[in-house]
Structure 1
Amino acid sequence: MKLALTDEQRAMVDSVRQLAQEKFKGRVHRWQDGTFPHENLKELADIGVLGMAVPEEFGGLGLPVLDCVLVLEEVAKVCYVTSMAAMAAMGAQNRIIANYAPKHIQEKFLPGVATGEVILAICMTEPHAGTDVANYKTNTVIKGDTVVLNGTKTLISRADEAHCFIVFTRVDGRPGREGIGCVLVDPAVAGFEVTARYHTMGGENLAEIQFKDMELPRENLIIEGDGMKKLLTAFNTQRCMNPSVSLGLAEGAYEEAVKYVREREIFGRPTGTMQGIRWKLADMAREIEVSRSMLYRAAASADPFPDPYLAAIAKMQVNEMAIRVTSDALQVHGGYGFTDEYPVSHFYRGARYGTLGGGATETLKDLVGRRVYEHFPADGFLSFGLM
């Protein structure tokens, strides 16, 4: 198999790389206190990036998951906060609206996503339940032409900026995973309140949101009970987008490490001429190349959503790799790596998010192990997990 970028993909990647290197790089420190990178998102929208996952009929480009992965990777090579903000336009919340919402809701929100005028957010985790979806307590009650939402979600990105929230919720109190659906929430409606804010080591803000007797139109209940399979199928997209950010962070840190060891001298010669440093660079390059191949393969399997096995494998590999590589890149910088004067510390802090969001490593290990146990074929890998 040969994976080569098309001329169109290469042109888009080059455009994003140029924008990130020339504009975003000098602004990275502006977003470390939780300030939202509206300026960067506007420039990404201007070159079509925020519309990549929006269907053409709603003003987007309707491009595959792989194209989105390639672009997020380039943004993350420079700015973690901006890559996470851009991911909202390409991830699960967008895919849920584009694939499951009625057309009038698609027409209301998706064109604005493409232009950067509409910011999306997704609400899954609850204070007592993250991975344990079956124990979600947030509940939506159907009352004729309206629905009433109550509950609390936590560790939510873009709570102060989003115009639309996709909320995973129980429907009419139905128990277990089968009772989960999702409702579209407008934060301007009475009953929406941000009750706590948390500043992360990566620079962005997360929040706790409370929904109290929120009355919404019945049509906002995009997926009713027994919709967990649909929701998680769409969420597999997130398991390619999240590691694309991790991959970009690792590559950004690696590029800084190579630059540093070429310029820094020790005992009268460049640090990069030392065998111990060269071997470290070789190991880092090997890990990045392996991870890129796995992620691109998972993203290329999307039709329209990535294969869950390939996405889980890729996410585990890339997330864990990024922690190791950014740590090694920081080590190569010596004491300077521990300061904020060098970009490598920014990459290191951002990389720590990957294994936590979009499905923790431990959760994905269990998912993969269960699938292998139940479905691994007699002829082995020859026909298992192949596109």
Structure 2
Amino acid sequence: MSTSRLQLSDEQRALVGTVRELARDKFRDRAKKYLDGTYPWENLRDLAGIGVLGMSIPEEYGGSNLAVFETALVLEEVAKVCYPTSMALLGEVGVQVRVISTYAPESMKRDILPKVCSGDAMLAICMTEPHAGTDVPNYRVNTTLKGDRAVVKGVKTLISRADEAEWFVVFSRIDGTPGRDGIGCVLVNRNTPGFEVTARYHTMGGENLAEIQFNDCEVPIENVILRQGGFKKLLSAFNTQRCLNPSISLGLAEGAFEEAIKYVRDRSIFGHPVADFQGIRWKLAEMYRDIEAGRSLLYRACLTANPFPDPHEAAIAKMYVNEMAIRVTSEALQVHGGYGFTDDYPVSRLYRGARYGTLGGGATETLKDLVGKKLLSDFDPVDGFLGMKTF
């Protein structure tokens, strides 16, 4: 049986080339200054200039309506050189955009989505609460429906872009309905009375996260995008995040690997290039192996999207690629020796960014449990994996 490597189309290759050139020529030199939490506005404006911010948005609202796979390719390229910029970009092409473009009323789409394409409106998603992260069915933030208005009350935490976003896609309980059946989604503008950023946290990757209080925030009833019973729809959309999050991890691993290659070629020890030592070559071989294995799993998961990726494939890809990125960036830092531990070398920043992957978009432990349950329920005792239609 013959096999062939996935080949990008001419259009996909041109897209990747354009983003790679921009990242290499501009983002690389700017990356260090974002370590203190400064938001990469100039990079986002550059990405808007080449149409990237509209990747996930339908054409009728000014976007290019690219598939999850193409979106992942772009995030991968940006993450190679600048983790904070890749995370800022994720906020404009990730689950919050797809929730609005899929489930929001037409008037809301026409108001918000063109502004996202141009970079004039930042979006944020509010899921995690102080007592619950992955445990969505036990969220306490509640939206009470009152005629033509809705009132949002509660606290969300560890929220990205809290100081920059104009609109917040809030996972919320609706009318106090308990359990997962009570979870829906409401859109809140930052200028809504009662909206307050109450705490800020600086991360090791360079991002700022925040706590947000919704103190009886009153919004129009049409801002309630999904009501009771919206949990499954929200999780289906969230499977996109489980492909885009690891695409950033893949880019971080690739960026660190490329830095390691350059370093061992140029650095000498005991009169020989570091690359001449077998132990170093073995490290590089193992790093490359892990990157390529992760790429295969991730790309396969992305290509299942219709419009959202298969949850099982996305979970497997995220589990592996997130953990792979931690290993590879750590090894790349080790290859650099003491220099790798300094902020002057990119590998230090890439290593710190990689640590986020297993925490966001569904913790690794949660996804392992999800995959394990599916294996036990779907395994065919006669045909094994063939019976599970894995191949």
2:18 corresponding residue in structure 1: 15
1:308 corresponding residue in structure 2: 311
Q: Once the two structures are superposed, what CA deviation does each residue of 1:314-335 show, in whole Å capped at 9, x if it has no partner? A: 0000000000000000000011
Q: Percent identity?
A: 66
Q: Output the aligned Cα RMSD.
A: 1.0
Distance 2:185 2:160 in 1: 17
The partner residue of 1:257 within 260, 278, 300 is 260
1:361 corresponding residue in structure 2: 364
Q: Structure 1 residues 28, 172: closer, same or farther in 2, change over 3 A? A: same
Q: Structure 1 residues 202, 373: closer, same or farther in 2, change over 3 A? A: same
**SS at structure 1 position matched to 2:125:** strand
TM-score w.r.t. the length of structure 2 is 0.97
Distance 1:385 1:58 in 2: 38
Equivalent AA in structure 2 for residue 321 of structure 1: M
Q: Once the two structures are superposed, what CA deviation does each residue of 1:116-167 show, in whole Å capped at 9, x if it has no partner? A: 1111100000000001112111000000000110000000000000011000
Equivalent AA in structure 1 for residue 288 of structure 2: A
Query: Offset of 1:379 from its aligned partner?
Result: 2.6
The partner residue of 2:386 within 366, 382, 387 is 382
**SS at structure 1 position matched to 2:353:** helix
TM-score w.r.t. the length of structure 1 is 0.98
Q: Name structure 1 gaps, 5 residues minimum.
A: none
CA contact (8 A) 1:124 1:130 kept: yes
Instruction: Select between 239-248 and 127-136 the one with higher mean Cα deviation.
Output: 127-136
Distance 1:148 1:353 in 2: 33
2:181 corresponding residue in structure 1: 178
Number of aligned residue pairs: give it.
387
1:155 corresponding residue in structure 2: 158
Distance 1:150 1:376 in 2: 44
Q: Structure 1 residues 233, 385: closer, same or farther in 2, change over 3 A? A: farther
The partner residue of 1:60 within 63, 70, 73 is 63
Equivalent AA in structure 2 for residue 362 of structure 1: E
- 1:344 lines up with 2:347 in the alignment: yes
2:129 corresponding residue in structure 1: 126
**SS at structure 1 position matched to 2:70:** helix
Distance 1:30 1:340 in 2: 10
**SS at structure 2 position matched to 1:236:** helix
- 1:88 lines up with 2:87 in the alignment: no
Query: Offset of 1:384 from its aligned partner?
Result: 3.5
Query: Offset of 1:386 from its aligned partner?
Result: 4.5
CA contact (8 A) 1:309 1:385 kept: no
Query: Offset of 1:380 from its aligned partner?
Result: 2.8
Distance 2:340 2:112 in 1: 42
Equivalent AA in structure 1 for residue 190 of structure 2: P
The partner residue of 1:288 within 288, 291, 299 is 291
Query: Offset of 1:383 from its aligned partner?
Result: 5.3
CA contact (8 A) 2:32 2:343 kept: no
State how 1:73-112 maps to structure 2 within 5 Å.
73-112=76-115
Q: Once the two structures are superposed, what CA deviation does each residue of 1:234-291 show, in whole Å capped at 9, x if it has no partner? A: 0000001100000000000000000000001111111011000000000000000000
Distance 2:164 2:138 in 1: 28
1:26 corresponding residue in structure 2: 29
